[in-house]
Amino acid sequence: MVKFLRTAVNVYTIVQDGNQTDISKITTGFRKIEVRGAELYINNRRLMTQGYTPRSQNEWPAIGAAYPDWLHDYSNKMQVDGHSRIIRWEHTMPSPQDIKSCDRVGLLQIMPGADRENDSQGREWEMRCEIMRNTIIYCRNNPSVILWEAANNLISKEHLSNMIALRDKWDSRGYKRPMGGRSEGPEWVSWMYGVRKEKYRLSIDTEYLRDESPRRWWDSYSAPYYHKEGEYMLVDNAGGWNRNQDNMCVMQSIVYEQYYKARPGTGEAVCNGGTQIFFADSESFTRSIDSFRRSGCVDGMRVPKDTYYANKTMWSNTPELWTENEPSVFIPGHWNYDAGTVKPVYVFASPGIARVDLLVNGIPQQGKQENTFLYTFSKVSYTPGKIEAIGYDKDNRIMATYHLQTVGAPASVRMKLISHPQGLRADGSDVVLIETEIVDKQGNRAPLAQNLVKYTTQGDITWRGGYWEENVKKYANRKELPVINGIHRVILRSTLHTDTVTVIAQAEGLEPDTLQFIANPIDATRGYCSDPPATLPVAIEPQKEIYGKDLPRYILPADAEQTKTDGTALSATNEAIFNLSTVFPQGARLKANVQNGDSIYSDRPWKFSQLPEYLKGAHYLLVANDDAGTSAGEGIVFNIGKAGRVYIAYDDRNVQFPVKSSPTPFKITHDKIYVNGYPHTIYRSEPMNGGELTYLGTNSWIEKAPEGINNYIVFITKETN
């Protein structure tokens, strides 16, 4: 048996009746999938489901979703190369090209039916069932599909049973892929905004870290985007929609650490991982200053951002991600600053690295470890030369190094062709990418270059161009385009004619570059092409195959079976809250029976006084006031254990109330408590049932909060009147 593995994608071809003129080729693969309690096993190996959640159209700028198969492979393989282990599509089946591409590159898939983020009724529900049926039938022979997703929101038990019945009927052979989603179902549950631990079913956060960051913003110290107050908002802690790359990498480390600490293998109850929303910047709805969604770890042209490499580093050297023995460190950004610049430098390290040194031209810098993955060197003076990070293990052995070098002045334009290995096909649909860089005399990319590049083309080719983040419309489909931080990409599409194509790229004051390639003929007669779609070759590495030892049969405990099929039992607990997660660096601790005189924050001497009677005796979350300036969507997330209410005391100096995506609304009470002399208005939820979600953004999630405001205080009561 040839095994379909994440680390070695052994897909093969079966030829039936090979002597006949009509040959049927079936591409497939084998793999073993099993859910054991709350953990996923592929080929007898525990696997953490960490990855990305893109829109199902998975489009590119200038050409949308109409692009050749090999480019699907190119994009999906980037995820695999970045240590992504799964892709979760939003919110309907993707193109057949992407489904098959994931088989080829070895990217596991969560496959949805169709969803309106609600529980449909009548004919609409019948249509959703029909779409789910068709999706199962179409995808059931794709070995990379491992989970079916019934809904991206709560649906009734009856409707979830309808979906499970569809799976039982149409995907019944061998091991049945689990059917679940964002409902309290027995097989697997998806989640948003935080860690949810389970004992007896798979739990995956399928949309985490909605924050956005454009590729052009390195940090607050890099020309030409210094981000002074009032210009695009202050980017450091400017709110989740307008982060720079430094700040976004830091936030990724804070959020991912929660999943890492709850990963499979860490205890009886675990979370099996999460998928960060979007892989590439996308033409989705936008909340930022730009006209498109910038949550991707690569831009629309798949040029990697620093966030791509930060995730790759954090997801390295982790047995549960099948990346053991791959330690790494990473410094985001560049080393070209104005004279006199003093800035924080962040170093990201993979698990297993116990200490990181940072050297500037050989001189050690003072820093500290912030979390499992992040080391901060808060005041590093810029000196031209080399900045280097060295990661050590617990025995003081060097495990990984990374460095940045000061780059010289821009000297020339350099182009590189990205195409299928066999070249461009003159079929009217194939494309090539041209990656254009501004480089110094030594050929190093100039990280601050924003030069306008002007192109001319010769030969039979269709120019589709690229995009500029600040003004997409201004340069759409034009043969001139500024680079962003020294690099951009453009797309050219073939016609039906073979030809030699010449591209010349020029920028004022720089040495130009010329690139040539051939549009190759295809075998086509009367509109029929006998050549199959071009895909990227799959690199088979048998030496990396890992197949775990046979495991004893997993038997679900009898009491767990009852709990899993009882929706009310699933969502009830004797605890005041459960599944608590927070991005606050100093955490949040649940305390019981609050009274006047108790500490308000963990890092201030301030005490409660004049608490309303309805809050006395309640549970509350003790947080640090130093964390009040944290900017994130997933501020505090939890489920209420028993029926009751949630109250929030919110500093009146901030106008942005933090509730962002809770099913239960909050209303102002006009009651107040005072914290260090400042009034905090109390907001009250509607009555909540046991198991309901409370999701709170931070003070600065959408807009930067005023300096010096206090963190909010969360209370949980049993009172429901």
Residues 239-258 have a mean pLDDT of 87
Q: Which residue has the higher pLDDT, 628 or 71?
A: 71
* pLDDT reported for residue 84: 96
CATH code for the structural domain at 12-310: 3.20.20.80
Q: Which residue has the higher pLDDT, 1 or 452?
A: 452
CA distance readout (Å), 302 to 54, 467, 474, 494:
13, 12, 21, 20
User: Sign of dihedral through CA atoms 168, 169, 175, 178?
Assistant: negative
Strands 274-277 and 513-520, bridge-based pairing: unpaired
Distance CA 588, CA 583 (A): 9
Residues 29-47 have a mean pLDDT of 87
φ, ψ dihedrals at 459, nearest 5°: 110, 170
Single out the residue of 428, 418, 353 nearest to residue 391, CA to CA: 353
Secondary-structure class of domain 412-524 per CATH: mainly beta
Could you tell me the pLDDT band of residue 117, with boundaries at 50, 70 and 90?
confident
Question: Distance between the two ends of the chain, CA-based, in angstroms?
Answer: 63
* pLDDT reported for residue 471: 84
Q: Please tell me if the domain spanning 329-405 has the same topology as the one spanning 412-524.
A: yes
Single out the residue of 490, 451, 463, 478 nearest to residue 299, CA to CA: 490
* Cβ count within 10 A of residue 32: 18
Q: What is the residue whose two structure tokens read 């070209």?
A: 336
Residue type, 72: H
Q: Is pLDDT of 392 > 90?
A: yes
Distance CA 509, CA 464 (A): 26
Q: Which residue has the higher pLDDT, 464 or 244?
A: 464
User: Sign of dihedral through CA atoms 608, 610, 612, 616?
Assistant: positive
Give ∠ CA 704-710-711 in degrees, rounded to 5: 85
Q: Which two tokens stand for residue 698?
A: 């931070």
Percent of the chain predicted with pLDDT > 90: 63
Average pLDDT along the chain:
87
pLDDT, tens only, 483-504: 999 999 999 999 999 999 999 9
* pLDDT reported for residue 569: 34
Distance CA 431, CA 463 (A): 10
Distance CA 712, CA 545 (A): 50
Distance CA 246, CA 232 (A): 16
CB 345 within 8 A of CB 387: yes
Q: What is the residue whose two structure tokens read 């030369």?
A: 385
Distance CA 136, CA 139 (A): 5
Distance CA 221, CA 246 (A): 11
Residues present in the chain in total: 721
Residues 179-191 have a mean pLDDT of 84
Q: Which two tokens stand for residue 460?
A: 């039979």
pLDDT, tens only, 703-714: 667 888 999 999
Q: Is pLDDT of 584 > 90?
A: no
The least confident of 209-223, 344-358, 670-684 is: 209-223
Q: Is pLDDT of 363 > 50?
A: yes
* pLDDT reported for residue 211: 84
φ, ψ dihedrals at 472, nearest 5°: -60, -45
CB 90 within 8 A of CB 111: no
Residue 266 neighbours by CB under 8 Å, 6+ apart = none
Residues 281-286 have a mean pLDDT of 78
CA distance readout (Å), 237 to 307, 311, 630:
16, 20, 7
* Cβ count within 10 A of residue 112: 26
pLDDT, tens only, 667-679: 899 899 999 999 9
Instruction: Give the DSSP per-residue string, 276-338.
Output: EE-SB-BSS---SSSSSB---SB-TT-PBPHHHHHHHHHTSS-GGGT-TT---EE--S-S---
Q: Is pLDDT of 1 > 50?
A: no
87 beta partners: 52, 109
Q: Is pLDDT of 22 > 90?
A: no
Strands 524-525 and 528-529, bridge-based pairing: antiparallel
Distance CA 334, CA 219 (A): 10
Most confident of 390-399, 520-529, 560-569: 390-399
* pLDDT reported for residue 182: 80
* pLDDT reported for residue 596: 97
Q: Is pLDDT of 633 > 50?
A: yes
Q: Is pLDDT of 190 > 90?
A: no
Region of 260 please: left (phi>0), alpha (psi -120 to 50) or beta: alpha
Cα pseudo-dihedral 33, 7, 47, 583, rounded to 10: -140
HSE of 659, CA atoms in CB hemisphere, 13 A: 20
Q: Is pLDDT of 134 > 80?
A: yes
Residues 393-398 have a mean pLDDT of 96
φ, ψ dihedrals at 110, nearest 5°: -100, 120
User: What DSSP element (H or E) covers 588?
Assistant: strand 588-591
The least confident of 63-72, 189-198, 232-241, 653-662 is: 232-241
Distance CA 458, CA 448 (A): 30
Residue 443 neighbours by CB under 8 Å, 6+ apart = 414
Q: Which residue has the higher pLDDT, 696 or 9?
A: 696
Could you tell me the pLDDT band of residue 436, with boundaries at 50, 70 and 90?
very high
Sequence ranges of the domains in the chain: 12-310, 329-405, 412-524, 574-717
Q: What is the residue whose two structure tokens read 């910047």?
A: 281
Q: Which two tokens stand for residue 453?
A: 């590049």
Most confident of 138-152, 317-331, 435-449: 435-449
Peptide bond into 663 cis (omega under 30): no
User: What DSSP element (H or E) covers 412?
Assistant: strand 412-418
* pLDDT reported for residue 2: 38
pLDDT, tens only, 526-582: 777 777 788 888 665 554 556 788 888 888 887 665 444 333 333 334 578 987 878
Q: Which residue has the higher pLDDT, 187 or 353?
A: 353
Q: Which two tokens stand for residue 251?
A: 């936030």
Residues 98-106 have a mean pLDDT of 93
* pLDDT reported for residue 617: 95
Q: Is pLDDT of 344 > 90?
A: yes
The CATH H-level superfamily of 329-405 is: Immunoglobulins (2.60.40.10)
* pLDDT reported for residue 27: 55
Residues 343-371 have a mean pLDDT of 97
Could you tell me the pLDDT band of residue 720, with boundaries at 50, 70 and 90?
low
* pLDDT reported for residue 169: 96
In angstroms and rounded to an integer, the radius of gyration of the C-alpha atoms of the chain is 27
